[in-house]
Amino acid sequence: MEITDVLFAIVPILFVVVFISVFTVVIVTIVKGISSSHRMTGAVDRTISQAMDSISGGFQSLMLNNRGGVLIPQITADFPDFSPTVALGCAKEAVRMKYTDDTMTVGNAVISDYTRSSGKSTVVIEVSAASRGSGNRKYIVLYENTLERNINCPHCGAPLKDSVGNICAYCGSQIEKAESGGWKVSSVMAG
C-alpha cells in the first residue's frame, strides 16, 4: 500500500471529523447565545419593569368609578362655587395624611357619587394609591357640605322647628336661607 492510498483513505475521514467538530462548535455557540440572550432578555425585562414602576410610582391601572362628567354639573348647579380641582386635591391630601407611609404614592382621584339629603350634600371621591407594603389600593373619601341653619329665629328667638319654609311660625318674619358650612373631608376609608 502506498502512502497516497493511505492519504486518500484518511482525508475523507479527517474531513468528516473536522466538519462534525466545527458543526458541534457552531451548534453549542448558538445554544449558548440563545440561553445567554434569554437570560439577558429576562434581565432587560426586569430592568424595564423596574424603570416603569419608578416612573409610574409603582402603579398598575386600578379601576376607579369616574362619574365626574355627569356629577360635576349637578354639584355646581347646587353649589356654583364648588371646585372639582380643590375637592380632588383635598381628597388626595386626606389619604396622604391618614395613611402616612413613606413609600405611598397617591395617584388618580375621581368623583364617583353625589348625594343630597336634608342639610347635607356628600361627594364621594375614589383615590388610587400604591405602596411597597400593600401594593395598589383604592380609598373612598367623603367630601361633605353641611348647611348651617339657625335653630332659633334671629328676630324673636323662637325655635324654628315648628316653622314652615323660610317663615318663623311665631313672628312671621322671613328667615334667611341656610348658609353653606363649606366643603370638608369627613371620612377616609380603604375601599
- Cα–Cα nearest to 49, from 33, 60, 65: 60
Phi, psi (5° rounding) for residue 131? -145, 160
Q: What is the pTM of this model?
A: 0.56
Domain ranges of the chain: 1-56, 68-190
Q: Where are the beta strands (DSSP E) in the chain?
A: 105-117, 120-131, 135-148, 179-190
Strand partners, 189: 140
**Would you give the distance in Å from CA 160 to the centre of its chain?**
46
Of 74, 73, 79, the residue nearest 145 (C-alpha)? 79
* Structure confidence by residue, pLDDT tens digits, 134-171: 778 898 999 998 876 566 777 788 776 655 567 788 88
Q: What is the mean pLDDT of residues 52-74?
A: 72
Place of cell 434569554: 38
